[in-house]
Structure 1
Amino acid sequence: MRRSWLSLLMAGFALPAAAVLWKSQDASRFFAAFAEPPGLLQGCTDVPEAMTLATELRDRALRVERYMQSIDEKKAELAAAERALVVRLGELRAQKDGIRARRSNDTSAVRSDIDRLVAVYDQMKPTEAAAVLSNLPADFAAEILMRVQPENGARIIASVEPRQAALLTAQMGARNLRKR
């Protein structure tokens, strides 16, 4: 019996609510009336504290809104700067890769030239090679002597004046120490 009364009561409340919703057809307007009461300060204009508080709150809300706008502008500026930096970083990486490639090509070209020069000195007679190496800077001559065939290098050093041979030998030893 209690269940029947409960059902009757529920139907009694639900039917008028459904009728109101159906009749209004714009339910959002019906619920919006509860969300924001019209004329919040209506009737409070004679209370200075309420008016001051309302003005201060409105001013604070405006300041917060301006601050949020400036934060949004800063975010946009930061995003633009970040995009520019990413683009610039890509450009710099491409330049770096290009420099590495050129440097690698240059290094291989220099090595190739040195290998050809060493081959020339390997083909020369030791006395002729000694005469030429005596007129070269000591560090360059020592580098060539380090790269020629050991037998040829020994013959060339033997053909060089003793003082020059000592200098070249010291340069060759110093070169090995610098690499360590």
Structure 2
Amino acid sequence: MRRSALMMLTLAFGLPAGAAIWQGADLSRFFAASASSGDLLSGCSDVPEAVALATELRDRALRIERYMEVLDTRKAEIAKAEAALRARATELSQQKSGIQSRRTGASQAVREDIDRLVAVYDQMKPAEAAAVLTNLPPDFAAEILMRVQPETGARIIASVEPRQAALLTAQMGARSVRKD
């Protein structure tokens, strides 16, 4: 009989609690209802230490609750900031890839233009090419001379005035040193 009464009590209290756990309910309402501060002090209101302890526990609980609210607010702010940073990082990454592709395209276009100029100078007579190159900026003329066929470049330099040939040769050497 005692055993069956104990089983009945277990079922009476255990089933609702088990169902609440199964459904993911907040169990603090069960415990809060049974252990409110008024209930705790029901027989101890004449003991000042008990009243002080209950008051301090209530104050601590309120502070903890406020801290938890502040933490939740900060977590939300941090999550929002992280999302904004991710979005900005993605945007910057896209801009960077766009700039790199434009830069690559521009570099390719410049290389193609220089290759066309080199082909033109390769086809010119050395004396005519020398006359044109002496009127170009020395660094640009040196770039063209570095890219033409070596035999063509030698004939062009031979057709240039010696002072200008020395300047172009120095520019070509300086260009080679800068590349290394």
Is residue 67 of structure 1 aligned with residue 67 of structure 2?
Answer: yes
Residues 54 and 156 of structure 1: is their aligned pair in 2 closer, same or farther, counting only changes over 3 Å? same
> What secondary structure does 1:73 align onto?
helix
**Equivalent residue number for residue 126 of structure 1:** 126
Deviations along 1:101-138, whole A, 9 cap, x unmatched? 11111110000000011111111111111111111111
Deviations along 1:64-105, whole A, 9 cap, x unmatched? 110011111111111111111111111111111111111111
Q: Where does the alignment leave 5 or more consecutive residues of structure 2 unmatched?
A: 18-29
**Equivalent residue number for residue 36 of structure 1:** 34
**Equivalent residue number for residue 51 of structure 2:** 51
- Corresponding pairs, count: 165
Is residue 108 of structure 1 aligned with residue 108 of structure 2?
Answer: yes
Q: Where does the alignment leave 5 or more consecutive residues of structure 1 unmatched?
A: 1-11
Is residue 16 of structure 1 aligned with residue 5 of structure 2?
Answer: yes
Residues 75 and 21 of structure 1: is their aligned pair in 2 closer, same or farther, counting only changes over 3 Å? closer
Post-superposition offset of 1:54:
1.0
Q: What is the TM-score when the length of structure 1 is the normalising length?
A: 0.83
Deviations along 1:121-163, whole A, 9 cap, x unmatched? 1111111111111111111100000001111111110110000
Question: Aligned AA for 1:75?
Answer: K
> What secondary structure does 1:151 align onto?
helix
**Sequence identity, in percent?**
65
Q: Which has the larger radius of gyration?
A: 1
**RMSD (Å), alpha carbons:** 2.2
